[in-house]
Amino acid sequence: MDKNIDILVIDDDKHMRDGCHQILRKSQYKVALAEDGYQGLELLKNKVFDIIILDLRMPGIDGMEVLKKIKTSNPDSFVIVITGYASVESAVQAMKIGANDFLPKPFTPEALRVIVKRAVEKRKLLLENIYLREQLDSYIGMDDFIGESKPMIKIKELIRKVGPTGSTVLISGESGTGKELVARAIHRNSPRKNKPFITVDCGSLVETLFESELFGHVKGSFTGAIASKHGKFELANTGTLFFDEIGNIGTNIQGKLLRAIQEGEVTKVGSNQTIKIDVRIISATNIDLIKGIKEETFREDLFYRLAVIPINLPPLRVRKDDIPSLVNYFLNKYNKKRGKRIKSISFHAMQTLVNYDWPGNVRELQNTIERAVVLAKGDIIEPTDIFHFSYVSSKNQSTTLASAERDHILKILRDCNWNKSKAANLLKIDRKTLRMKIEKYEIITESVD
């Protein structure tokens, strides 16, 4: 039986409340009691309950009204209504409002246990569906790691060894080297492979909302909290929680994250109730966390908690032997995805790609091949197809790919009136990669957005 299921019974009949309490406690559920709708709604302000058992006929505020308020503030809670009068009609009405199931009076202890067990299973399915919506393309296997260079062989072997252990992993490497790909592969090679893999993008979250995103919140806990919310830890329970760019979080949140990992429990913002969690932590960073420790921007105790097993991903420029395999992989992928029939890439085009240092790593190569597939003039990709324009010098010598890329980025920025968000979208790269390229090529922008 799941000991972490919280149940609230709202019923004005003391005998009914006590009976439900005894039956459910024997099944090892955690049970809270409310003697009327007002008290029940008050309890819901400070705690999110997985299942709510609600009597429809109560003095003061009746069950239907309470049900409406519950579905507004706690839409993910499963509500079982108790109907003791005009059962079919009232049950149908309650289901239309948002009740998930109903239990007619009188009922046996076994009937209560069965319906609650069914609600527990449905709630688990709900959380899994939330996870699946976020992770439609989450399946990553060893076949997704393209290349047989010595660095890649070592990475694949590390994944095979680390996956089954359950240890925390810290993946370091430049942007675009495939840190999330490695994290997903570790998850897929672990006993948790059929459980959720939830990502926390530490680079995009507003710091003031970070705690709510990680731990969840109850309705009314802060301005804008119009409904209770599950946190990432809760969604990842029994699975893997991946912190992408962990170095971007502030020291205040670092402390709370450390406590959650050490104690195996979290508390929603605005609540004083703890929730037990069982997650594997995998983190990634493109910055030097050791340097952050010295500069006191990253906690040393958190670092050693996260980096039980460190994995460093090599940049693409030190494993250029993998570039032809990657190019052919992306060529086939985008032929199918974009409905194209590009047969191959010419020798000179491939040499151009191999000779380039790829500051954006595999992600940059992937975006380059997708553009080439879409814009190629023939069925074989030539050097002039690699970007949106031909780049041949007056001496009939091809310019470097880096020079061509700088000119192209500059043109797009000008076309977008220096709006970096629009430019990044047209270039099919993220803003972080665009900023990196602007700095690399020493492009002086006329405005900052």
Is residue 135's pLDDT more than 60? no
Q: Between these two residues, 333 and 2, which has the higher pLDDT value?
A: 333
Together in a domain, 175 and 233:
yes
Together in a domain, 300 and 170:
yes
Range of the domain at 15: 6-134
Quick one: average pLDDT of 280-290?
95
Of 266, 289, 314, the residue that ends a domain is 314
In a domain, 168, yes or no: yes
Distance of CA 208 to the CA centre of its chain: 18
Is residue 227's pLDDT more than 60? yes
Which pTM does this prediction carry?
Answer: 0.61
Together in a domain, 220 and 192:
yes
| pLDDT value, residue 395 | 35
Is residue 23's pLDDT more than 90? yes
For residue 315, give the DSSP letter: P
In a domain, 331, yes or no: yes
In a domain, 1, yes or no: no
Is residue 276's pLDDT more than 60? yes
Q: Between these two residues, 250 and 140, which has the higher pLDDT value?
A: 250
Of 314, 330, 345, the residue that ends a domain is 314
Is residue 393's pLDDT more than 60? no
Together in a domain, 130 and 149:
no
Together in a domain, 251 and 191:
yes
Together in a domain, 274 and 160:
yes
In a domain, 449, yes or no: no
Is residue 391's pLDDT more than 70? no
What CATH number should be reported for the domain holding residue 295? 3.40.50.300
In a domain, 310, yes or no: yes
- The pLDDT confidence band at residue 261, using thresholds 50, 70 and 90, is very high
Together in a domain, 331 and 243:
no
Of 252, 281, 314, the residue that ends a domain is 314
| pLDDT value, residue 85 | 56
In a domain, 402, yes or no: yes
In a domain, 240, yes or no: yes
Together in a domain, 155 and 293:
yes
Say what percent of the chain tops pLDDT 90: 43
Quick one: average pLDDT of 184-190?
92
- Mind listing the pLDDT tens digit for each residue in 154-167? 998 999 999 999 89
| pLDDT value, residue 389 | 36
Quick one: average pLDDT of 236-241?
93
Do residues 80 and 116 make contact, with C-beta atoms less than 8 angstroms apart? yes
Do residues 245 and 286 make contact, with C-beta atoms less than 8 angstroms apart? yes
What CATH number should be reported for the domain holding residue 412? 1.10.8.60
Together in a domain, 310 and 322:
no
- Our count of domains for the chain comes to 3
| pLDDT value, residue 143 | 54
Do residues 204 and 433 make contact, with C-beta atoms less than 8 angstroms apart? no
Is residue 402's pLDDT more than 70? no
Quick one: average pLDDT of 173-200?
92
E strand residue ranges, 231-290 = 240-244, 265-267, 274-276, 280-285
135 CB-side CA count, 13 A: 26
Together in a domain, 368 and 295:
no
| pLDDT value, residue 398 | 39
Together in a domain, 243 and 126:
no
- Mind listing the pLDDT tens digit for each residue in 248-257? 998 888 999 9
Is residue 218's pLDDT more than 50? yes
- Spell out the SS3 assignment of 109-138: HHHHHHHHHHHHHHHHHHHHHHHHHHCCCC
| pLDDT value, residue 130 | 60
Q: pLDDT averaged over the chain? A: 85
In a domain, 448, yes or no: no
- The pLDDT confidence band at residue 439, using thresholds 50, 70 and 90, is confident
Together in a domain, 126 and 200:
no
What CATH number should be reported for the domain holding residue 15? 3.40.50.2300
- Mind listing the pLDDT tens digit for each residue in 336-357? 988 888 999 988 889 889 888 8
